[in-house]
Structure 1
Amino acid sequence: MSPSTPDNSLSNKELPALDGKALDAILTDISGRLLARGEMLATAESCTGGLIAAACTDLAGSSQWFERGFVTYSNAAKTELLGVDAALIAQHGAVSEPVARAMAEGAIARSHAQAGVAVTGVAGPTG
């Protein structure tokens, strides 16, 4: 998400399960768009534990478009590092579109990036 561009957010209902090749293809597309705009990306991850940030930095030239990644597995980390309102988490649950959106917005606000991506979900059968 970028404050200077239309909201291009997707929910989990719109995204297929991704393998490494599919993730690389998506990131290659995103990186091209960011480079064309002169923008940087910040990630905010929960259940993926930095996997997306690692995939970003695995791509050649990522220093030109990847700014930083936040791993905020706990609700406290989401609040402390990204500024996600604890009341929002309490109202919607940590695994919700409003919280994911707030995480992405927090990643942008707390970095030098103009675009943000966030992932939250349940890790495993017991969370």
Structure 2
Amino acid sequence: MTDLTQLRPRAEALVLKLKSKGLMMTAAESCTGGLVCALVTEIPGSSAVLDRGFVTYSNEAKMDMLAVPADVLARAGAVSEETARAMAEGALAHSRADVAVSITGIAGPGGGSTEKPVGLVHFAAAGKDRQTRHLACRFGDQGRDAIRALSAATALEILSNLID
């Protein structure tokens, strides 16, 4: 699924689910650069469920905006389970949202390594009074646009599952 227009029904379903439960969301995005929030805001009425979004592409932004600990970034790296968890929990703490999703990965075409190849994306979902969940996906090196679209689709699904 690399066509962003195919993601609109998923975003709409998420907005409706959040509205029905009276919940607000936030997103902490790195490799998707705000794509999840952009998809949600395409849906009329999304202002009732989207508090804010954080585009934290650099490590400095992750630390400044989300309070991701410097030692986590130094030890585990920006693309890691630890960072994804800290991003989601930081977004929740720095917003009025009830649930948060985070995305950090390597969209390519460069930047990958044997340990962390292009297409590796870590996600986390956090919620008030909920245990933070983590998911790692290896989408493969299928192009920057495809990896970003797949990441956005996965983030919408993770957030929807969190509030079920």
Length-normalised TM-score, structure 2: 0.62
Count of residues paired in the alignment: 111
More contact order relative to length (CA 8 Å, sep ≥ 6): 1
1:56 aligns with 2:40: yes
Question: Secondary structure at 1:120's aligned position in 2?
Answer: strand
What 5-or-longer segments of structure 2 have no aligned partner? Answer: 112-164
- Going from structure 1 to structure 2, the CA distance change for 1:44 and 1:92 (only over 3 Å counts) comes to same
Question: Secondary structure at 1:55's aligned position in 2?
Answer: helix
| Structure 1 position 125, deviation (Å) | 2.1
1:108 aligns with 2:92: yes
| Structure 1 position 28, deviation (Å) | 2.1
Deviations 1:2-27 (A, max 9, x none): xxxxxxxxxxxxxxx55314432332
CA distance in 2, matches of 1:88, 1:118: 15
What pairs up with 1:1-127 in 2 under 5 angstroms? 18-127=2-111
Question: Secondary structure at 2:47's aligned position in 1?
Answer: helix
Length-normalised TM-score, structure 1: 0.79
Deviations 1:33-61 (A, max 9, x none): 21122111111111111111111111111
Q: Over aligned residue pairs, what C-alpha RMSD do you find?
A: 1.5
Judge which range, 55-64 or 22-31, deviates more.
22-31
CA contact (8 A) 2:27 2:36 kept: yes
> Alignment identity in percent?
50
CA distance in 2, matches of 1:92, 1:33: 34
Structure richer in strand, relative to its length: 2
Aligned amino acid, residue 112 of structure 1: R
Whose radius of gyration is greater, 1 or 2? 2
What 5-or-longer segments of structure 1 have no aligned partner? Answer: 1-16
CA distance in 2, matches of 1:99, 1:79: 10
- Going from structure 1 to structure 2, the CA distance change for 1:85 and 1:58 (only over 3 Å counts) comes to same
